[in-house]
Amino acid sequence: MEATSFTQITNLNSIDLSSPDINNSVSLLKQACLDSGFFYVVNHGISQEFMDEVFEASKKFFDLPINEKMKLLRNEKHRGYTPVLDELLDPEHQVQGDFKEGYYIGVEVPDDDPEAEKPFYGPNVWPATDILPGWRETMEKYYSQALEVARAVARIIALALDLSEDFFDKPEMLGNPIATLRLLHYGSGQVSEPSKGIFGAGAHSDYGLITLLATDDVVGLQICKDWDAKPQIWENVPPVKGAFIVNLGDMLERWSNGVFKSTMHRVLGNGQERYSIPYFVEPSHECLVECLPTCKSETNPPKFPPVRCGEYLSQRYRDTHADLSKYNKS
């Protein structure tokens, strides 16, 4: 049996991207990054009307018959459809994969572009226009708007780390990022049972720099600030209308020498259908992630070896996704 307790979170800091008081925003964000690595972002510039349109488009895709969705099965570049149980995020505590289905959209690069030879760069997989007219255009518009929000958040993070505001704007970082949009659907009737190893999404930390999470109004996300605590304390993160839930990824924890937290989180299904849209933002394939000069000293040397972003991401995806050969059985 899992020994846990649950606490409703009411005190996640909220960062207002329209606020002229940048010092206050930096202070609130820094406190959140030191505490839990999770915070809300409001007044981010993406209209609620358009967010509703994106969620409606997501629902239309997941409402398609399974045979239509399987025609768009994810490829080795992690583009396209991921079936229920495809992803196993916490093998130590899960008896099978996550009870969610998803759809990956990444950096759009033509097949004949030299960049397409790298992991995470290449053409996307799109539903046929006669099946979902306007779907691609909606997702591409959201992809570009969310990236601008992520860059704005990264500028505040840079200031919180005593770096120049444009530190993460460099071409090898968010000037040419590996940004991945993922649509997720948790089916109705699915109830998670942690004591039996059944989860909507198993416990994990995100891999990259930051994640912007848009979600509907169904509660499901939980965080654990101290993974080593016994018992672990899992806290509910309530959705806030019009806000992104933002969390830090493992690369930022490495960059900050462990000062800023990449916190473990999971999703528990409660029987209600739930839709969410995480947007994962990582630096470019070539970016070397190594301890920032502002986060190390003689008494606090680097805790993590330098790592190349593309190689690191590739290994993390291999560790958590099913081998594609399992879907090729006749």
Q: What pLDDT score was predicted for residue 227?
A: 87
pLDDT at 5 over 80: no
Query: Which residues constitute the domain of residue 90?
Result: 4-320
Check: CB of residue 42 under 8 Å from CB of residue 14. Answer: yes
Tell me, yes or no, whether 239 lies in a domain: yes
Q: Is the dihedral of CA 232, 277, 158, 283 positive or negative?
A: positive
Q: Which residue has the higher pLDDT, 64 or 320?
A: 64
As a whole number, mean pLDDT of residues 302-313 equals 91
Number of domains observed in the structure of the chain: 1
Q: What pLDDT score was predicted for residue 328?
A: 63
Tell me, yes or no, whether 25 lies in a domain: yes
Range with lowest mean pLDDT among 109-118, 129-138, 152-161, 213-222? 109-118
pLDDT at 50 over 50: yes
Tell me, yes or no, whether 259 lies in a domain: yes
Q: What pLDDT score was predicted for residue 210?
A: 97
- Cβ of 111: how many Cβ atoms within 10 Å? 8
Could you tell me the two tokens for 17? 């991207």
Alpha-carbon torsion angle 273, 217, 50, 223, nearest 10 = -100
Tell me, yes or no, whether 328 lies in a domain: no
Q: What pLDDT score was predicted for residue 230?
A: 84
Q: Which long-range contacts (CB under 8 A, 24 or more apart) does 309-312 make?
A: 309/178, 309/208, 309/251, 309/282, 309/283, 309/284, 309/285, 310/118, 310/119, 310/120, 310/178, 310/284, 310/285, 310/286, 312/207, 312/251
Q: Tell me if residue 296 falls in helix, strand or coil.
A: coil
pTM of the model: 0.93
Tell me, yes or no, whether 329 lies in a domain: no
**CATH code: domain of residue 291:** 2.60.120.330
What span, in angstroms and rounded, lies between the C-alpha atoms of 41 and 200?
24
Tell me, yes or no, whether 325 lies in a domain: no
Q: What pLDDT score was predicted for residue 1?
A: 39
For residue 316, name the pLDDT band (cuts at 50, 70, 90). confident
Tell me, yes or no, whether 222 lies in a domain: yes
- Cβ of 218: how many Cβ atoms within 10 Å? 16
Check: CB of residue 230 under 8 Å from CB of residue 3. Answer: yes
Tell me, yes or no, whether 27 lies in a domain: yes
As a whole number, mean pLDDT of residues 222-236 equals 89
pLDDT digits (tens, 9 = 90+) for 248-292: 999 999 999 999 999 999 999 999 999 999 999 999 989 999 999
Range with lowest mean pLDDT among 1-10, 46-55, 288-297? 1-10
Q: Are strands 80-82 and 221-224 parallel, antiparallel or unpaired?
A: unpaired
Whether residue 231 has a cis bond before it, omega within 30° of 0 = yes
For residue 245, name the pLDDT band (cuts at 50, 70, 90). very high
Q: What pLDDT score was predicted for residue 99?
A: 96
Among residues 264, 310, 319, 317, the alpha carbon closest in space to that of 289 is found at 310
pLDDT at 323 over 90: no
